[in-house]
Amino acid sequence: MTVRVRYPPSPTGAQHIGNVRTAILNWLFAKKMGGRFILRLEDTDRDPSRYRPDVIPDILSNLRFLGIEPDEDWEKGGPVGPYIQSERLPLYQKAAEELIESGKAYRCYCTPERIAALRAGQQQRGEPTGYDRRCRYLTSPEMDKLSAQPFVVRLAVPLEGQTLYHDEVHGDISVENNALDDQVLLKSNGWPTYHLANVVDDHSMSITHVIRGEDWLPSTPKHVLLYQAFGWETPKWVHAPLILGTDHKKLSKRHGDTEFAEYIRRGYLPEALMNFLALLGWSPGEDQELYSVGDLIDRFSLEGITPHPAIFDANKLLWMNGEYIRKSSPTRIVDLSIPYLQEASLIKTEEDIELAERVVPLVTDRMKTLEEVAPLTDFFFGDMPKYDSKAVEKWLKSSDDGVTLAKILPRLEGIAADQFTVNLIEAAVRSGIEELGVPSPQVIHPLRVALTGRTVGPGLFETMAAMGKEKVLYRLKAIIAKEH
């Protein structure tokens, strides 16, 4: 049996961390088992307050960002397409018709007004809400009379007994049938509900494992009943735990942005997101945090999915991303940083790009996200940096500082522009310090503040070498001129 798993997002909003976590678990399982990963669009909810066609393109691009290429999807197609539910309506209508014929479903002609009144009455009396099954017991003549009226199709849920199923994570589950409503399968406009479309598609697409978030666990008995009504074999059920914030509350905006694309925008690396999200609710059972995609696939098993809630720790993700930035080649980080520097209007010319190639590697050890590259390197760009007033107050205020810098300047001028290297710069500065006969911080700090506008940053001599002779002299002269 070939494993076939699916990721079926509904375009009701941007993809969130939890959606993508589910996609990752499915994909890892498919890869591990040599199976197929199917992407399907569940777009049957056309309520204008929920339907968001604008988010559809991001679904594929988010997955591709992570290196996940579905084996079958709505762009490349596949043997059991179409992969968009709104293009499969006749299938659901036919399936509903079949259930009516076999007596497993029935047409319900109750008006929305009647259903609303029924519900209101139940609520008033403190009873559980649900359909009272009036149309389930219509006689043939009654049905004939109503046949021109609009109707929905409802599942005739068994009135007694239990629905039993096994979840790979949560074990055996049983639900009393009398607690289940005769759910709507087909709406009066001929469109299916999520339950019908989902089950018909999972069956017709030969899905072997339904791996999804635990929020779908309460819907599962309804699905099991549908499989039974059709006489189809159920897939294996795998419900991955909910994702909670560090305060153990349901993940929401309060815990930082949960929109997946936002993490891409902020400069998280695909391998960091893949690693971090895979570990939300799944564990390879060892005490290690960093896993390459290959490691994740090797170690993946459904047994590793835990029933306990997963905790989303944004700081851990930041840490992990920093680790992956440092594992990456400097040229990759430079390439990925350039758009952020352009966005911050730091890179304007070809020369600025060359400068970026020299300076980004100096700050990667302090970067946790790519977007941090701009504030860490901004002082390299432009003629003069922004000066931090406290730093200036402390290190560039006294006229001695101007004298100190003026002493260093000719030594730097003496180095040829194409030999403006860390070693020669350091030798020049150190000989100046010796000649001045002052403790070295009294030279190093004013020099750093004059050149970078601040007191912290990468090593001073590395900074100067990357900045280049011309800019170093320009900035020093400008500061010296100001001091006198």
Interface residue with ligand GLU, options 31, 212, 222, 471 (CB under 6 A):
212
Please report how close the Cβ of residue 90 comes to ligand GLU at its closest, in angstroms: 20
Please report how close the Cβ of residue 374 comes to ligand GLU at its closest, in angstroms: 36
Please report how close the Cβ of residue 202 comes to ligand GLU at its closest, in angstroms: 8
- Nearest residue (CB) to ligand GLU, 312 versus 381: 312
Distances in Å between the Cα of 187 and the Cα atoms of 93, 120, 191 are 10, 21, 5
Q: Any contact of residue 9 with ligand GLU (CB under 6 A)?
A: yes
Interface residue with ligand GLU, options 183, 193, 198, 208 (CB under 6 A):
198
Among candidate residues 28, 7, 1, 473, the one with its CA nearest the CA of residue 280: 28
Listed ranges 5-13, 92-100, 108-116, 258-266: which one lies at the site for ligand GLU (CB under 6 A) = 5-13
Helix (DSSP H) and strand (DSSP E) numbers for the chain: 20, 11
Among candidate residues 252, 168, 171, 241, the one with its CA nearest the CA of residue 21: 241
Q: What are phi and psi of 186, to 5 degrees?
A: -130, 130
Question: Active-site residues: which are they?
Answer: 253
Please report how close the Cβ of residue 162 comes to ligand GLU at its closest, in angstroms: 22
Task: Compute how many other C-beta atoms are within 10 angstroms of the C-beta atom of residue 431.
Answer: 12
Q: Any contact of residue 88 with ligand GLU (CB under 6 A)?
A: no
Ramachandran region, residue 103 (left: φ > 0; alpha: ψ -120 to 50; beta: rest)? left
Task: Compute how many other C-beta atoms are within 10 angstroms of the C-beta atom of residue 50.
Answer: 11
Interface residue with ligand GLU, options 3, 4, 5, 10 (CB under 6 A):
10
Task: Give the CA diameter of the chain.
Answer: 112
Distances in Å between the Cα of 468 and the Cα atoms of 73, 83, 381, 382 are 51, 56, 11, 13
- Nearest residue (CB) to ligand GLU, 8 versus 453: 8
Strands 105-108 and 152-155, by their bridges, are antiparallel
- Nearest residue (CB) to ligand GLU, 237 versus 263: 237
Q: CB–CB of 227/200 below 8 Å?
A: no
- Nearest residue (CB) to ligand GLU, 192 versus 458: 192
Listed ranges 4-12, 230-238, 356-364, 427-435: which one lies at the site for ligand GLU (CB under 6 A) = 4-12
- Nearest residue (CB) to ligand GLU, 51 versus 216: 216
Binding-site string for ligand GLU from residue 147 to residue 186, where x marks contact by CB under 6 A and - marks none: ----------------------------------------
Q: CB–CB of 98/78 below 8 Å?
A: no
Among candidate residues 228, 208, 275, 214, the one with its CA nearest the CA of residue 105: 228
Please report how close the Cβ of residue 9 comes to ligand GLU at its closest, in angstroms: 5
Interface residue with ligand GLU, options 51, 191, 216, 227 (CB under 6 A):
216
Applying CB under 6 A, what is the total number of residues that bind ligand GLU?
7
Listed ranges 2-10, 168-176, 297-305, 349-357: which one lies at the site for ligand GLU (CB under 6 A) = 2-10
Q: Restricting to residues 28-67, which ones interact with ligand GLU according to CB under 6 A?
A: 42
- Nearest residue (CB) to ligand GLU, 310 versus 405: 310
Binding-site string for ligand GLU from residue 271 to residue 310, where x marks contact by CB under 6 A and - marks none: ----------------------------------------
Q: CB–CB of 447/436 below 8 Å?
A: no
Burial of 63 (0-12, 13-18, 19+ CB in 10 A): buried
Q: Where are the alpha helices (DSSP H) in 183-329?
A: 194-204, 220-230, 260-265, 270-278, 293-299, 314-327
Q: Which residues pair with 163 in a beta bridge?
A: 175
Please report how close the Cβ of residue 213 comes to ligand GLU at its closest, in angstroms: 7
Listed ranges 3-11, 244-252, 379-387, 432-440: which one lies at the site for ligand GLU (CB under 6 A) = 3-11
Q: In whole angstroms, give the CA distance from residue 380 to residue 355.
A: 8
The strand order across the sheet containing 209-213 reads 36-39, 4-7, 209-213, 236-240, 162-167, 171-176
- Nearest residue (CB) to ligand GLU, 163 versus 377: 163
The strand order across the sheet containing 184-186 reads 105-108, 152-155, 184-186
Listed ranges 6-14, 72-80, 239-247, 266-274: which one lies at the site for ligand GLU (CB under 6 A) = 6-14
Interface residue with ligand GLU, options 3, 4, 8, 377 (CB under 6 A):
8
- Nearest residue (CB) to ligand GLU, 45 versus 462: 45
- Nearest residue (CB) to ligand GLU, 233 versus 287: 233
Binding-site string for ligand GLU from residue 95 to residue 134, where x marks contact by CB under 6 A and - marks none: ----------------------------------------
Task: Compute how many other C-beta atoms are within 10 angstroms of the C-beta atom of residue 147.
Answer: 10
The footprint of ligand GLU (CB under 6 A) covers: 8-10, 42, 198, 212, 216
